[in-house]
Each structure stands twice: as structure tokens, then as C-alpha cells.
Amino acid sequence: MRRRGPALLAVFVSLLSVSSLAVAADKAVERFEAYAVSLGTGRSAVVEIAINRWSTDAERDMLLTTLQEFGQDKLLDTLMKIKPPVGYIRRAGSVAWDLYYARNNVMPDGSRRVVCATNRPVNFREAANNTRSMDYQFTVIELHLGAGGEGEGKIVPAAKVSWDRDAKRIEIENYNALPVDLTKVVSKGSQ
């Protein structure tokens, strides 16, 4: 008869460790709630954006260098390798979608510009048929908040990202073409 006590104890302790990490990772640095309106589809929903940690300068520099040197396909691969994800976005009552980049840019007057990015959900048929939409692999979120934590923003659910060498800036195709408007954006603080 083999002794299972030590083995079961080790499994139990490792499960407790994983549970503790999951609880700690769920504690957001900041949560935002907004009313999302898509004029293109006529649909609306309440969305929650949770930031568990802000992207580091090193992560930002790595992503920018990758875009400049290799383009958006390699950028997507690099973005998806950032671990752990920085947070998530979800509609009320739905499954969350991981965010891999989030920056909080505070202005001198106390207002803020928050920029988030992630991969775009792609369905099987779209991937199998390799449609033109596969060039638009990113979802970009931009929030503009006043000093009181309220504001507006937009989500570009399908964006193509490139580097404009002459202007030395990131170009987001589709940025103004029927994005999802975020109204009544409110910072719910940390939780």
C-alpha cells in the first residue's frame, strides 16, 4: 500500500497557491464603466474595463520597436506574449476579453488619456477564408477623462496599425470610421 498523504498535501498546497494568485490578480488598479454605442450597428451596451496593472515603459518600447522594424503582424505576436495580461474588457454579463497593453497618460491639468490595446476576436470562418478583415487584427480603446474621473472615449474594434516614418507616429487605420463611442465613462477607482 502506497502512501498518498504527502502527494495529496502537495497538490492541495499548490491549488491554494494558484487560488491566492487568482484572487490577487483579480484586484484591479482601476476599473472603468462606460456606455458603448455603435452607430454602425445600432447596438449599445454597458462595458467594464478593468486594469490590473499598467504597461511598463519597457513593454511600450518593445512594442514600438517591433512595429517600427517588423510591422503589425510581428506586433500582434509580441503583444500576445505579454504576460500577465494588463486587464480585461467585457460587456455586462459576458465573458471578459484580455487586454495586453494599457497606459495612463496624466496631463498637467489632472485630466487623463488612457490607451488600451488587445488582439481582435476572429471567428473560424474569417480565419479559414483569410478575408481582407484579417489585416485588421487589433482592438484599440482610448479614454479621455477629466480630473474628476469622468469622460468619454472610443473603441476601434478592428484596427490596422502601422508606423508613419515621416511623421514618426503610430497610424491606426479605421480610427474614425464608425468606432464604438464610449459615453458616460466613469472611473470606479481600484477594487
What pLDDT does residue 158 have? 85
Asked if residue 179 has a cis previous peptide bond (ω within 30° of 0), the answer is: no
pLDDT at residue number 7:
30
How high is the pLDDT of residue 132?
A: 61
Q: Which residue has the higher pLDDT, 2 or 160?
A: 160
Residue 93 pLDDT more than 90?
A: no
Q: Which residues lie across from 113 on neighbouring strands?
A: 105, 144
- 20, part of any domain: no
In the chain, how many domains are there?
1
Per-residue model confidence as pLDDT tens digits over 107-125: 999 999 999 999 987 666 6
Burial class (CB in 10 A: 0-12, 13-18, 19+), 111: middle
160 C-beta neighbours (distance < 10 Å), count? 16
The answer to whether 34 and 92 have CB atoms below 8 angstroms apart is: no
pTM (predicted TM-score): 0.79
- Please give the grid coordinates belonging to residue 136: 485588421
Residue 5 in domain: no
| Within a domain: 142 | yes
Answer yes or no: is 3 within a domain. no
Residue 12 in domain: no
**For residues 1-22, average pLDDT:** 32
Per-residue pLDDT of 149-169, as tens digits, reads: 999 999 988 888 888 888 888
Residues 140 and 156 sit within 8 Å (Cβ to Cβ) = yes
Cα 95 versus chain centre, distance: 14
**Quick check: is 57 in a domain?**
yes
Whether the per-residue pLDDT at 9 is higher than 70: the answer is: no
| Domain span including residue 94 | 28-189
The answer to whether position 2 is within a domain reads no
Whole-number Å distance between alpha carbons of 77 and 138: 11
